[in-house]
């Protein structure tokens, strides 16, 4: 940054609200004549940028994968993607389009411009399935869902994991769990494997037209 700062006309810093003083990811944007340079910093060398699990819900179901494929066909190298326009063209809800864009983002097929607060179309040489294969929570959640470890009871679900049984409850649009992960992070690093498994089963049950 030292080489470009003398040409900078502005500096913007982006990051989530910090309530407890814990380190968070941040993006430092240097505005230059005719361009912007963004440097993204993770909270720690061992931690990543992708919401640290915050995008896992968008990777958790086959429905999201199908939506992403549909949305990808409609992209045309836009510099700013309008989710509402894609929703109209695809027949999907805006919420499902946003989830599809998140999934495409993990595959390098769309980017997100912080300054414009908008997705844009791009194609990077990423392995589209790598994020799924190498995320232990997502892998564990698929195993739990596939093993029939999830039972649903209205807004409450129970997940058998090892020799324990965890309760996952839905409230205010979010899932909470009685596991240690939720107690430690309270959703700040994305859903736990139990909540992800419940999401998979609920969406699978909805698609199939029934409830397990």
- Could you read off the pLDDT of 172-191 as tens digits, one per residue? 778 899 999 899 888 777 88
Q: What is the CA radius of gyration of the chain?
A: 19
Query: Which of 177, 51, 17, 93 shows the shortest CA–CA distance to 59?
Result: 51
Residues of the chain with CATH 1.10.10.10: 52-127
pTM across the whole model: 0.68
Distances (CA, A) of 178 to 79, 193, 196, 199: 43, 12, 14, 16
The CATH topology of domain 52-127 is Arc Repressor Mutant, subunit A (1.10.10)
Do residues 159 and 198 lie in contact, with contact meaning Cβ atoms separated by under 8 Å? yes
Find the mean pLDDT for residues 67-95: 92
Question: Rounded distance, CA 193 to CA 142, Å?
Answer: 9
Q: What is the pLDDT of residues 33-57, one digit of tens each?
A: 999 999 888 877 766 655 556 677 7
DSSP 8-class letter at 54: T
Q: What pLDDT was estimated at residue 77?
A: 93
Residue-wise burial string across 12-48, b where 16 or more C-beta atoms lie within 10 A, e elsewhere: eeeeeeeeeeeeebeeebbeeeeeeeeeeeebeeeee
- Residue 178 burial (C-beta neighbours within 10 Å; 0-12, 13-18, 19+): middle
Q: What pLDDT was estimated at residue 207?
A: 39
């Amino acid at each position: 940054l030292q080489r470009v700062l003398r040409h900078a006309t502005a500096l913007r810093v982006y990051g989530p609200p910090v309530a407890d003083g814990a380190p968070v990811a941040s993006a430092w944007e240097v505005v230059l004549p005719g361009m912007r340079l963004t440097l993204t910093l993770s909270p720690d060398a061992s931690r990543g940028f992708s919401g640290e699990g915050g995008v896992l819900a968008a990777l958790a179901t086959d429905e999201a994968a199908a939506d992403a494929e549909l949305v990808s066909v409609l992209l045309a190298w836009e510099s700013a993607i309008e989710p509402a326009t894609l929703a109209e063209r695809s027949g999907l809800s805006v919420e499902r389009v946003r989830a599809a864009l998140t999934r495409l983002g993990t595959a390098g097929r769309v980017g997100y411009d912080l300054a414009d607060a908008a997705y844009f179309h791009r194609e990077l040489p990423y392995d589209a399935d790598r994020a799924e294969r190498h995320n232990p929570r997502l892998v564990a959640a698929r195993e739990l869902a596939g093993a029939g470890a999830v039972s649903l009871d209205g807004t409450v679900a129970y997940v058998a994991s090892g020799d324990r049984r965890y309760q996952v409850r839905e409230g205010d649009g979010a899932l909470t769990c009685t596991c240690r992960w939720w107690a430690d992070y309270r959703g700040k690093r994305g859903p736990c494997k139990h909540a992800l498994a419940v999401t998979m089963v609920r969406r699978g049950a909805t698609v199939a037209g029934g409830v397990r």
